[in-house]
Amino acid sequence: MKMNKTTLSWTLIALAIVTPLLYAWYIHYQRNHFSCESHLTIVDDNYILDVVADYSFSGGTGNYETSGDYIQLGQPPVAISNKIEFNYWREGDSVIMVSSDTNERPKRSQAFRHNIPDFFQVRDRGLKMEIIPANASSYLFIYGNAPVFYCTKG
């Protein structure tokens, strides 16, 4: 009987130590391994940009893919897409992303391209954002202290 009580006591102590460590590991893992999708519609005086963007983060490397339509007033829609591979790391509440490979299509100049960061167009360019959980199934991407878009888990 004494041996069973001792074994039970040590088992409970081990569980009390291991449980918070497993929880901390899980939180860290979730913070660095997730994907999400966002539907973005940007309306300007001369064009409409309607795209679906997918972000994927996996332990220091990531992937961004987008596809949709660029609609210039009075013109037929033009299909656009972009795929970026990037490296990222965290500094405090911020995520620093540096593009390692880009594949932007089409390669011609369009008005909206002048208003987006170089990260989305050119290799080896960085972007610093905050990515915070909005709730259990989504994230807010914040740039310059302003929410830029809402992204739901994929």
Question: Could you state, in order of their start, the residue ranges of all structural domains in the chain?
Answer: 35-153
CATH fold of 35-153 reads Lipocalin (2.40.128)
Q: Does the predicted TM-score (pTM) go above 0.85?
A: no
The pLDDT score that the predictor gives to residue 112 is 55
The pLDDT score that the predictor gives to residue 13 is 86
pLDDT in tens, the chain (154 residues): 566 888 888 888 888 888 888 887 877 777 788 999 999 998 888 888 899 999 999 989 999 999 999 888 888 998 888 889 999 999 988 999 999 877 655 555 555 555 567 777 778 888 899 998 889 899 999 998 899 889 998 7
Buried b (16+ CB within 10 A) or exposed e, 84-117: bbbebeeeeeebebbbeebeeeeeeeeebeeeee
Strand duo 61-72 + 47-58: pairing? antiparallel
The pLDDT score that the predictor gives to residue 31 is 76
